[in-house]
Amino acid sequence: MKKGTIEFRIGFILTGIILFLAILSVFYTPYDINAMDKTARQLAPSLQHLFGTDNYGRDIFSRAITGSRFTLLVALSTVGSCTVIASALGLISGYLGGPVDEIIMRLIDAVSSFPDILIALIVVTILSYGKYTIVIALCVTFVPSFTRIVRTATLQFKNAEFVRNLRVFGVSDLRILLVHIFPNTFPLLLSTIVIGLSNAILAEAAMSYLGLGIQPPTPSWGRMLQESQAIIYNAPWAAIAPGIMIVMTIMGLNSIGEGIRKRYLA
């Protein structure tokens, strides 16, 4: 068996389940996610309500799978936008070197001297809550580490034999950078993206738990955990369902990341 196969299998199964449920929620949920039912409060898991119901009689399964959709969307758009910004910064910084590199890297250093959660909190505070606030907040948080990785990879190839040859042939810097160097950073970038997704999901859940992420009535795992805390003794399933979904997603993504690392980077 090739290196990393076990990790890939576990990872793809776990993320596959979550992805399937997220897509399913677009077309079908057993119950309306916001329908409250006074007669069905805090019901234990059963065939009618797979994961039980919460304090307002809302179906937790429906909410949990819909929540996965929004959480994944936030994570994907965060990591997507962050990858674009960080790739540009990292490529420019690494390729040009000199004062440009110095300025970009010192700024990156300054931002990353703040712990992640503080950056996210600052952005949320100054932007006031909107639909995309959480995406911007998390994106700013992740840009420094992504930029460093792209820059390091760029430096590796900047003085490689094939790049020097290209220069002799008069290929433009921009073309060298985008067509010849950038693709070489993909394996490293890919594992960074996968781990970044898992970090983004954790961070989004934490921010939503604090009430600073995805805003109600849109369901999100973090928010569901926060709401379940008051009824944890009578209805533990209300916390366990979204919690386990988070754990599964993180485990899945981390396994894939580990697999990539073992197969392509070791």
Partner 1 sequence: MKYFIRKFLILILTVFLISLMTFVAFHVIPGDPARLILGTSASEEAVEALREKLGTNMPLTVQYRNWISGFLRGDFGTSIKYRMPVASLMHDRIPVTTLLGVMSLVLILLIGIPLGIFSARVRNTPGEHVLNFINILGISFPNFFLSIIFIWIFGLTLHWFTPGRYISFDRDWAGCLRFMFWPALSVAIPQTAVLVKYVRTAMLEQLREDYVRTARGKGVGETAILYVHVFKNAIVAVVPLIGMIIASVLSGSIIIEQVYGIPGIGKLLISSVTSRDFPLTQTLVVYIAVIIVVINFLVDIVIQIIDPRIRLSDRS
Distance CA 157, CA 95 (A): 9
List the x/- string, 26-65, binding to partner 1 by CB under 8 A.
----------------------------------------
Which residue(s) pair with 53 in the sheet?
Answer: 59
Distance CA 30, CA 15 (A): 22
The Cβ of residue 127 has, within 10 Å, a number of other Cβ atoms equal to 13
Check residue 118 for interaction with partner 1 (CB under 8 A): yes
72 vs 176, beta carbon nearer partner 1: 72
User: Of these, 108, 124, 176, 194, which contacts partner 1 (CB under 8 A)?
Assistant: 124
Distance CA 96, CA 135 (A): 30
135 vs 176, beta carbon nearer partner 1: 135
Check residue 211 for interaction with partner 1 (CB under 8 A): yes
Check residue 239 for interaction with partner 1 (CB under 8 A): yes
Closest separation between CB of residue 40 and partner 1, Å?
A: 22
Check residue 111 for interaction with partner 1 (CB under 8 A): yes
Check residue 16 for interaction with partner 1 (CB under 8 A): no
* Cβ neighbourhood burial of 18 (10 Å; 0-12, 13-18, 19+): buried
User: Of these, 250, 257, 259, 261, which contacts partner 1 (CB under 8 A)?
Assistant: 250
Question: For 129, left (φ over 0), alpha (ψ -120 to 50), or beta?
Answer: beta
Residue 12, C-beta contacts closer than 8 angstroms, at least 6 positions apart: 252, 256
Distance CA 46, CA 255 (A): 31
126 vs 168, beta carbon nearer partner 1: 126
Q: Which stretch binds partner 1 (CB under 8 A): 19-27, 65-73, 111-119, 174-182?
A: 111-119
144 vs 176, beta carbon nearer partner 1: 144
Check residue 202 for interaction with partner 1 (CB under 8 A): yes
- What Rg, from alpha-carbon coordinates, does the chain have? 22
User: Of these, 23, 73, 122, 190, which contacts partner 1 (CB under 8 A)?
Assistant: 122
User: Of these, 5, 125, 152, 165, which contacts partner 1 (CB under 8 A)?
Assistant: 125
Distance CA 238, CA 55 (A): 9
CA angle 260, 264, 266 (to 5 degrees): 100
Which residue(s) pair with 190 in the sheet?
Answer: none
Strand ranges, E, within the chain = none
Check residue 251 for interaction with partner 1 (CB under 8 A): yes
Q: Write out the residues near partner 1 by the rule CB under 8 A.
A: 109-111, 113-118, 121-122, 124-128, 202, 205-206, 209-212, 222, 225, 228-229, 232-233, 236, 239-240, 243, 246-247, 250-251, 254-255
